[in-house]
Amino acid sequence: MSLLNKETVAVKRYATTYTKGRPVKTLSSSFTARGNIQPLSGKEVLQLPEGDRTSENLWMYTATEIAVNDEITRLGKVYEARESQNWSTQGMLQHYKVRLVKKDGQ
């Protein structure tokens, strides 16, 4: 499990509530997670949706469950979790594989 604990990031999880019929994002919880963060390969970037190709994309491998739309802060940059795959049933190393996309304006 030491391969998954190379870097610490801050995670913010939001809940959506509705005010006057409009969705409002409110902070539900915040915590830290440790994981291994790597860039996507060139082939993986080409397989992304067009809107994500021009943004910075990273893979995060972690033992902590990260949900889609969670906000991750790493080295002063803010990323949004766009994909979260549970690989716990795939083998001996129980982990999640999460694709992070740098948020606009960062």
Write out pLDDT tens, residues 78-95. 999 999 999 877 667 788
**Per-residue pLDDT tens for 24-52?**
989 999 999 999 999 999 898 888 888 88
- DSSP code of 16? E
Instruction: Quote the pLDDT of residue 93.
Output: 73
Dihedral sign of CA atoms 33, 38, 44, 49 in order: positive
Q: Which of these, 56, 57, 61, lies nearest to 36 by C-alpha position?
A: 61
Can you name the residues that pair with 99 across neighbouring β-strands? 59, 83
Average pLDDT, the chain: 89
Instruction: Quote the pLDDT of residue 105.
Output: 67
- pLDDT exceeds cutoff 70 at 59: yes
Domain locations in the chain? 2-102
Domain 2-102, CATH number (from 1.10.1760.20, 1.10.260.40, 2.40.10.270, 3.40.50.9100):
2.40.10.270
Return d(Cα 80, Cα 45) in angstroms, integer: 16
Lowest mean pLDDT among 1-5, 24-28, 63-67, 102-106: 1-5
Residues 6+ apart with CB under 8 A from 103: 71, 78, 79, 80
Instruction: Quote the pLDDT of residue 3.
Output: 61
- Higher-confidence position of 33 and 53: 33
SS (HEC) of 33-97: EEEEEEECCHHHHHCCCHHHHCCCEEEEEECCCCCCCCEEEECCEEEEEEEEEECCCCCCCCCEE
